[in-house]
């Protein structure tokens, strides 16, 4: 499943992608990304932050952050400074490492 918008949403609150196997959370206050594997099935989950610079000569999203969780207690997290610029658009993607589809957020800006 892939979601996209022509006018990106503003990231002035938390964004969460959730499935029966876990979740990927962006906490805007502090620019923190947290991935949690909530199903002890032998496979972890992965969350990826994609960035698009509208002024780049090469169009499209590129990966700027990857956070994996699974096989240990607790969630994993990492910080990334989401640029407060109208030139940068971001998208979160989340999947279960055992196969299946990818969940994607709408495009957003800081």
Q: Is the pLDDT of residue 7 over 90?
A: no
Give the domain 9-109 fold.
Immunoglobulin-like (2.60.40)
Tens digit of each residue's pLDDT (9 = 90 or more) over 19-38: 999 999 999 888 999 999 99
Domains of the chain, by residue range, sit at: 9-109
Tens digit of each residue's pLDDT (9 = 90 or more) over 50-74: 999 988 888 889 999 999 999 788 8
Q: Is the pLDDT of residue 8 over 80?
A: no
12 burial class (0-12, 13-18, 19+ CB within 10 angstroms)?
exposed
E strand residue ranges, 1-110: 9-10, 15-19, 22-27, 32-37, 45-53, 62-69, 76-79, 88-96, 102-104, 108-109
- As given in the structure block, the two tokens for residue 19 are 């499935």
Contacts of 103 (CB under 8 A, 6+ apart): 1, 17, 18, 19, 24, 93, 94, 95
């Amino acid at each position: 499943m892939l979601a996209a918008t022509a006018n990106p949403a503003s990231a002035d609150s938390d964004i969460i992608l959730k499935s029966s196997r876990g979740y990927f959370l962006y906490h805007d206050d502090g620019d923190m990304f947290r991935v949690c594997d909530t199903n002890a099935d032998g496979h972890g989950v992965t969350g990826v932050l994609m960035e698009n610079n509208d002024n780049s000569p090469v169009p499209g999203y590129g990966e700027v952050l990857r956070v994996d969780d699974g096989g240990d207690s607790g969630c994993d997290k990492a910080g990334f400074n989401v640029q407060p610029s109208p030139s940068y658009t971001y998208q979160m993607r989340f999947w279960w490492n055992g196969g299946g589809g990818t969940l994607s957020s709408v495009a957003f800006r800081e």
